[in-house]
Amino acid sequence: MAEVSTAVTRTVGVRRLAIGLLQGFFLFLMFQAKEHRVWPASDLATFQALLLPLLFAPLAAIHAHSHLPARRLGAWLAVVVVACTMVGFFDGYKNGGALDVARWEPGLLLFATAVGIFIAEALILAAQAEGQRIARYSAYFDAAWKQGVQVAACIGFAGALWLLLNLGAGLFKLIKLTFLADLIHEAWFAIPVTTVALAIAIHLTDVRVSLVRGIRTLALTLLSWLLPLLVVIAAGFIVSLPFTGLQPLWDTNFAAGLVLAVAAALIVLINAAYQDGLPDTRAHTALRWAMTAGAVLPAPLVAIAAYALTLRVQQYGWTVERVYALACVTVGACYAVGYVTAVLQRTEFLKAVEYTNIATSFVVIGVLALLFTPVADPARIAVASQVARLEEGLISPDAFDYKYLRFQGARYGLRALERMRAGEIQVAGVNDRAAQALALKAHHENPQVDRAGLALNVTAARGQVIPPGFLEQDWTAPLKTDADRASVMTLPCLHQPGERCEAFVRDLDGNGIDDVILVSSTAALPPLIFSYENGVWTFAGQLPARLACADMRALLQSGDFKTTPSRWPDLEIGGVRMGIVERSAYVPADCPKTE
């Protein structure tokens, strides 16, 4: 891209600062609306539809201001505003009811929007600099990597500014002056200062094009010499697979993500070494060999990721994360195929890398457009997949994750739960569980089991009968002390649907009234003892977790156990009763291993 420093006037700088200041003002208003829960923050869809354009359109205007003529700049900003508004509104609409503004976590949405605008603006500016719709690869390379350096510089500049402000605040605090510390924590100051700082950083890096290119060249040169090391590591990994098999990969549960990350690193380093492909940036011979070998390696890595993803989908269906993983595999496959083609061609060295990078840039924009619009919304696909597995009997109602639909299925998950509650999804046992999930307000909450659910959760050991009052009692109600409640909550079967416990009924204290020992069927948790006192069942104590192991449970089920008086009496000190645990009575918590 041509030098722009002579074309950037003081007037342009003032305009950029003005845009940054206005952006900070309107973002402050949005922040205030969010803090006070007033419009537009009262509606998540409207809030996001306004916030995303306010975040990205000013930055796009500041960056492209001196590079595009007024008409094209206006058209580009109109596209940014419309796209951000649509994407923001749809994301807020689909999450309406499942989330509110207070619990909104926009990280992925903001990152994807930023990536899409970054790529699109690089393509537009390169075409403008070349004066044609499809520019030469060197122009795309120059625009994209210049923007990358500018992004890093903006983040660094804003970070340094805030570091200095905090240092200054700390300095004044030493002499008991807190005005600066108070000031930098005020939103009306912090937000505009940050946006103005970003505008200054963009302007300065735009003026100093030669300096930016120098930093870019140095960074790419350093990065390129990491390529041989990564090639050796990746090649060694692939060569080792026939000897180790793929099972160790599957055991990690994050194989697809890791191998895709390695493939992405290879692609970045290959481009760092290849640069713009012009003769004056031709790589060293050693790097050319590494580039050739490295261009082949993304193909098997992406294939492994695709295979891992296929297995997980076949076993557990689609989730939001797996849809995003499919998008990454699709983009990775485009690079992998193009880079292998570049190695196989017999013309210029890796020339097809250029065509691959340009074409895949458009693919990335298209994939993002699909993911963040109704066309291929991950939440819609995931909910449809999980509900289909439930209806087909591939997963039982007890094992189904209703909370996933409630908090990660967005509007589609809520609709599916409502259909379950209404009986439109005809699977036995889902109605009450769906209703319980819909009642939850936060993801960390668990559905509370009702009396009917408690009767399903707690089953008597063979030949025994659970006292009726035990199953009628509300175990979610407060007990005598917080400690008692905390102990009872350690057994999920008393408060969570779908959990299982086995009840052993026996008079343990010799008072003529049966007591109940509850042992978890799903985990080696400490069994609890309950006794009947003054008309209610109360928590009496707990036993070692060892009792939940298979061998001890078998002895309990056979009735082969007895009560033995304690050798040592309890101590009472200051009105507090303390029991003595004999050394010989200690039972390890770990279950014995069985061959």
Q: What values do phi and psi take at 234, rounded to 5?
A: -65, -40
Residues 6+ apart with CB under 8 A from 178: 169, 172
The average confidence (pLDDT) of the chain is: 87
**Residue 537: its H or E element:** strand 536-542
**Lowest mean pLDDT across 29-33, 91-95, 452-456:** 452-456
Concatenate the DSSP letters of all residues of 91-154 into one string: HHHHHBTTB-GGG---HHHHHHHHHHHHHHHHHHHHHHHHTSSS--HHHHHHHHHHHHHHHHHH
Q: Which residue has the tokens 């690079």?
A: 335
pLDDT on residue 183: 95
Beta bridge partners of 541: 529
The separation between the first and the last C-alpha atoms of the chain, rounded to the nearest angstrom, is 69
Q: Which residue has the tokens 């200041």?
A: 21
- The proportion of the chain whose per-residue pLDDT surpasses 70, expressed as a percent, equals 90
Q: pTM above 0.95?
A: no
**Taking a C-beta distance cutoff of 8 angstroms, is the pair 533, 479 a contact?**
no
pLDDT on residue 483: 58
Q: Which residue has the tokens 């009872």?
A: 488
446 has pLDDT over 80: no
**Lowest mean pLDDT across 67-76, 135-144, 447-456, 517-526:** 447-456
108 has pLDDT over 80: yes
Q: What values do phi and psi take at 479, rounded to 5?
A: -100, -165
561 has pLDDT over 70: yes
Minimal CA–CA distance to 372: which of 567, 54, 87? 87
d(CA 506, CA 514): 5
Helix (H, G, I), strand (E, B) or coil at 461: coil
99 has pLDDT over 60: no
Q: What values do phi and psi take at 134, rounded to 5?
A: -115, 110
d(CA 73, CA 355): 27
Tell me how many degrees the CA angle 218-221-223 measures, rounded to the nearest 5.
Answer: 110
* Two tokens, residue 56: 């990205």
Concatenate the DSSP letters of all residues of 395-464 into one string: S-TTT--HHHHHHHSHHHHHHHHHHHHHT-S--TT-HHHHHHHHT--STT--PPP-HHHHHHHEEEPTT-
583 has pLDDT over 70: no
pLDDT on residue 26: 97
Helix (H, G, I), strand (E, B) or coil at 491: coil
d(CA 329, CA 317): 17
pLDDT tens per residue, range 5-23? 444 468 889 999 999 999 9
Residues 308-319: what's their mean pLDDT? Answer: 93
pLDDT on residue 1: 42
Residues 425-452: what's their mean pLDDT? Answer: 77
pLDDT on residue 384: 96
365 has pLDDT over 90: yes
d(CA 479, CA 540): 11
Q: Where are the alpha helices (DSSP H) in 245-351?
A: 247-252, 255-274, 285-296, 298-316, 320-344
pLDDT on residue 3: 44
Minimal CA–CA distance to 302: which of 278, 341, 331, 272? 331
Torsion angle, CA of 189/194/195/200, rounded to 10 degrees?
120
Residues 175-189: what's their mean pLDDT? Answer: 94
Estimate the crossing angle of helix 298-316 against helix 227-244, to 10 degrees: 50
**Taking a C-beta distance cutoff of 8 angstroms, is the pair 497, 512 a contact?**
no
